[in-house]
Structure 1
Amino acid sequence: MDTVYHRIQNHYDDLSSTEQLVVDYILNNGDFLNLKMKVIQESLHVSAPTIVRAIKKLSYRSFTDFKYALANSEKQENELNPEESYEALIDSISSDFSRTIDMMDKEKLYAIATVILQSHRIFCVGIGSSVSVVNSLNRKLKQFGLWSNDYTEAAPFRDIADIASKGDCLLIFSLSGKEEQILESVAKNKAKGVTIISVTGFSNNPLAGLSDISLLTYQTPQKRTKLRSRLMLSVAAEIIFETILLQKNEEK
């Protein structure tokens, strides 16, 4: 399944931080066909070669090719519809779901499943409205027979570094990827050789940069920030768990 969002998932980690900002800006713009390279240059204070380089790393020949790939992606018209209504809400969720599924990469998911299955201990981490995602996945991992605990408050985050060691993994769900409490814990555990796996919203964020494996989900840009839906994080969590089951069965 080689869609534009699948390519972004595959190659996003290959981009520099500036190139990631370019891609983020393009996706958040929405009006892809009318977006001019000059606007990106002036808004982000980047050069045209930087924009072109980012596009080529995503395996597109030109800025125009990338714009048309985005514009032609499934249900693009729903994201461009500014109307706030029940129908627009359903269209937006449906579009986010389709794009998140498109972004799921088989090799990356199997790599995550391998780490989880081979880890001595799994520390499931999340804060705020990501807590429900973490609690649900942690419960399934325990039922599957893995050593797994959930950590959903700042104080326990700090304690992880005191008990985690090489051979363990942190599985972190964070839409923004910018929570200071989580980033501090990640830095300490990474220094101890703990494997870091993160699932975040699509953006240039420090958590993804610190992770050994980062999985991105898609969400239509929204005006509200504090009450953003974590539904796509739940989708990713379900896919991760099902991949674990699949890989375990294949090993038999």
Structure 2
Amino acid sequence: MSFFGNIDFNELTETERYIYDFMTSNSNKIPYMRVREIADESHTSASSVMRFIRKLGYESFTDFRSHYQTSKVELNDLLDGLNILNKDNFPTDLAAKLRQVAVIIRDCENLVFVGIGSSGAICEYAARRFALLGYNTYPMTDPTYPIFAKLRNTSNNVAIMLSVSGATTELLELANGFKNKRDFTTVAITGAAESTLAKMSEHVLSYRVERRTLHRYEDITSQIPSIFLIESLSEAVLQFEEPQPE
């Protein structure tokens, strides 16, 4: 199950393997058991069970059990994810904004997609997609990369910055750098239309999405809206490239 994802089975002690085997074989019972009951059923001790739970990254048995319950996702919950692309989660003038950014991209010399973490992975995809359309494009996932030195003596560059929160410090520092360069046009793709990143950017493609974290700090928020906007933007660009019927 998902909460065992950070555990290397080969690093478990023999006692921890007993606990692991019991939990994975009795997942339907765990939310209703106490630490002592798990220890008795797995033929271990309560202290061993607690050490194993802390190794999983939980501070208490209550935190572990709560996540154990919410991790049992039903099919209907998965299908609810289709609502992520509901039109109500995007601005009403999205089509106009996409066309506006597409015009800018059509005439640019370099196209840079900027993002960190999960957003960085989407940048890789976005850069590849636009490269297939014939654009000179780069995915920038390292905030220390010397992008300004690389693009020195160039003009008409576009920096598209991806961030769910629009508040990542490293990205905001980069946005400030782009903002102070006359040869860069900045675009934000973000889940926070009123964020600092959005306010620092010349163009904003925003969306609404439920923020989700795992173990408090690990962000597992869906990137589906970002991918949708990237693909919609590439389709808008293609419309300019394809010959129009007479």
Where on the TM-score scale, by shorter chain, does this alignment land: which range? 0.5 to 0.7
Give the TM-score, by structure 1 length: 0.60
Show CA shifts across 1:166-194 (max 9, x none): 41110111111111111111111211121
Matched, 1:119 2:108: yes
Bigger radius of gyration among the two: 2
Shift of 1:84: 7.3
Query: Number of aligned pairs?
Result: 169
C-alpha distance 92-222 of structure 1, shift in aligned 2 (>3 A): farther
* Percent of aligned positions that are identical: 19
Unpaired stretches in structure 2, ≥5 consecutive residues: 1-69
Map 1:117-196 → 2, pairs under 5 A: 117-156=106-145, 159-162=146-149, 163=151, 166-193=155-182, 194-196=184-186
Confirm or deny: 8 A CA contact 2:210 2:221 kept in the other structure.
no
Confirm or deny: 8 A CA contact 2:164 2:190 kept in the other structure.
yes
Partner of 1:48: none
Shift of 1:146: 0.9
Counterpart selection for 1:206 from 196, 204, 212: 196
* 1: CA distance, partners of 2:171 / 2:181: 16
Unpaired stretches in structure 1, ≥5 consecutive residues: 1-81
Give the TM-score, by structure 2 length: 0.61
Partner of 1:231: 224
Moved over 4 A (4+): none
| Structure with the larger RCO, 1 or 2 (CA within 8 Å, 6+ apart) | 1
Show CA shifts across 1:125-158 (max 9, x none): 11101122111110121121111111111211xx
Map 1:235-246 → 2, pairs under 5 A: 235-246=228-239
Counterpart selection for 1:110 from 96, 99, 102: 99
Matched, 1:92 2:80: yes
Confirm or deny: 8 A CA contact 1:172 1:197 kept in the other structure.
yes
C-alpha distance 192-223 of structure 1, shift in aligned 2 (>3 A): closer
* 1: CA distance, partners of 2:155 / 2:175: 13
Partner of 1:17: none
Shift of 1:245: 0.8
C-alpha distance 203-197 of structure 1, shift in aligned 2 (>3 A): closer
Give the counterpart letter for 1:155 in structure 2: T
C-alpha distance 95-221 of structure 1, shift in aligned 2 (>3 A): same
Give the counterpart letter for 1:190 in structure 2: K
Which structure shows the bigger proportion of residues in helix conformation? 1
